[in-house]
Structure 1
Amino acid sequence: MKFKSYDRIHKSQEYLAPLGDIDYRSQFGGYSLAIGNVVFAMVAEGELYLRACEDSETYFVNKAAPPLIFNKRGRPIVLNYYQVDEELWQDPDKLLELSSNALANARREKSIRKTQRRLKDLPNLSVNIEIWLWEAGIADLRTLQAYGAKRSWIKLRSVKKFVGVKILLALAGAISGIHEAALPAVTRQELLDWYHRYEQRRRR
């Protein structure tokens, strides 16, 4: 199957040459295809899969094209890529159009990711806290800022009962872009007072 995948890669490079120089590397048990470090397609088990986007997903769904599935620790993971069938290979213009859309969408998403900071990159927040916040429905800085430290902490407390006042101060600092130790004394005291009142109400 390895040689069949290489044949498919080379065929993809030939058909999609107008998009640019296509590089490939091993990934997810198959091979990712990229132009300028932007992945827009995969080759697995000798088949080409294009990354889905708004412009192409309707086409692939109407065709009932199978998605790309790989196994991770025994669990099937469905990726947002759809198989290119023989009919599409016989229509190079359409294949090129869909591939161009996939590449353009992948470039847009990569550009957006570069401008968005992950929660773990904020002051005071670790990867674990980022995961807890995701579980609480807070997945980005904009949502964290919209909720504010107190409401975010309450949502976090609903999924992680053990979080205490230190996490509350950490969230306030993260929203302000500073270490929690640098919070203004007035802000720190107000948060501490709020936390103690909250705990007292819960014990009643």
Structure 2
Amino acid sequence: MKKRSYARIHQSKECLSPLGDISHRSLFGGYSLTVENVVFAMVSEGELYLRACEQTEVYFVKKAAPPLLYNKRGRTIELNYFRVDEGLWGDQEKLLQLSTDALFSARREKSRHKAQKRLKDLPNLTHGLEMMLWEAGIADVRTLHAYGAKRSWIKLRNVKKGLGVRVLLALAGAICGIHEAALPATTRQELVEWGQLYELRHSR
């Protein structure tokens, strides 16, 4: 299977060379394709998947193209990429156009994210916790603030049930922009009591 994937990577680099210097590296059990460190496609099990964006999604949904699936700890995660079928491989002009759209969209999103603070840049939030928040559907600071500490913690526990009240306090501190130890005593006590009650109710 690795041999098939490398053959597909080579084919992709040749066909999509007008996009620029295409690099690849291991990611999500497959390989990401990048131009100037911007990921616009994935190769998995010998198949090419293009990153979804407004333009590419219209085409791929119409074609009922399957998304890229990633298995992590027994859970299947649907990634935002669509498979390129043989028909599209046969239409080099259309493939290049869709790939250009995917790259342009990825560049725009990366530029927007650079201007935003990452989750792991907030107090108390490690890279590992940031990854779990992404899995729970909380990918940026704005979403974390919108959900709030309690709802975000519940969503995290759906990803990893063993998370304790300490993570709830860490989230509350991150939202306030302070270390969890600096939370006001009344806020801290209310969160601990609420979290412990939640754990008790959901352990039965």
Which residue is equivalent to 2:63?
63
Which residue is equivalent to 1:45?
45
- In the comparison of the two structures, how many residue pairs are matched? 186
- Structure 1 residue 131: deviation in Å? 9.2
Which residue is equivalent to 1:28?
28
Query: What amino acid sits opposite 2:76 in the alignment?
Result: P
- Structure 1 residue 110: deviation in Å? 1.4
Task: Give the direction of change, closer, same or farther, for the CA distance of 1:46–1:127 in structure 2 (3 Å limit).
Answer: closer
How far apart are the structure 1 equivalents of 2:146 and 2:121?
A: 18
Per-residue CA shift, 1:107-141, capped at 9, x if unaligned?
Answer: 1121222222134423456679879999xx98754
Match of 2:65, SS?
coil
How far apart are the structure 2 equivalents of 1:131 and 1:32?
A: 18
Stretch deviating more after TM superposition (75-84 or 97-106)? 75-84
TM-score (norm 1): 0.67
TM-score (norm 2): 0.67
CA contact (8 A) 1:47 1:84 kept: yes
Cα RMSD of the aligned pairs, angstroms, is 4.1
Which residue is equivalent to 1:73?
73
Task: Give the direction of change, closer, same or farther, for the CA distance of 1:53–1:177 in structure 2 (3 Å limit).
Answer: same
Which residue is equivalent to 1:2?
2
Which residue is equivalent to 2:14?
14
Match of 1:106, SS?
helix
- Structure 1 residue 44: deviation in Å? 1.4
Task: Give the direction of change, closer, same or farther, for the CA distance of 1:108–1:72 in structure 2 (3 Å limit).
Answer: same
CA contact (8 A) 1:4 1:45 kept: yes
Per-residue CA shift, 1:49-72, capped at 9, x if unaligned?
Answer: 101111110100110111111222
Per-residue CA shift, 1:73-116, capped at 9, x if unaligned?
Answer: 23222111111111111111110010011111111121222222
Task: Give the direction of change, closer, same or farther, for the CA distance of 1:35–1:176 in structure 2 (3 Å limit).
Answer: same
Match of 1:109, SS?
helix
CA contact (8 A) 1:23 1:35 kept: yes
Query: What amino acid sits opposite 1:52 in the alignment?
Result: A
> Who wins on radius of gyration, i.e. which is larger?
1
How far apart are the structure 2 equivalents of 1:75 and 1:133?
A: 15
How far apart are the structure 1 equivalents of 2:153 and 2:85?
A: 49
Map residues 109-148 of structure 1 onto 2, 5 A cutoff: 109-123=109-123, 140-142=140-142
Which residue is equivalent to 1:90?
90
Task: Give the direction of change, closer, same or farther, for the CA distance of 1:124–1:68 in structure 2 (3 Å limit).
Answer: closer
Query: What amino acid sits opposite 2:30 in the alignment?
Result: G
CA contact (8 A) 2:120 2:130 kept: yes
Structure 1 spans left out of the alignment, 5+ residues: 200-204
Match of 1:49, SS?
strand
CA contact (8 A) 1:132 1:156 kept: no
Task: Give the direction of change, closer, same or farther, for the CA distance of 1:107–1:182 in structure 2 (3 Å limit).
Answer: same
Structure 2 spans left out of the alignment, 5+ residues: 158-163, 194-204
CA contact (8 A) 1:24 1:31 kept: yes
Task: Give the direction of change, closer, same or farther, for the CA distance of 1:158–1:182 in structure 2 (3 Å limit).
Answer: closer
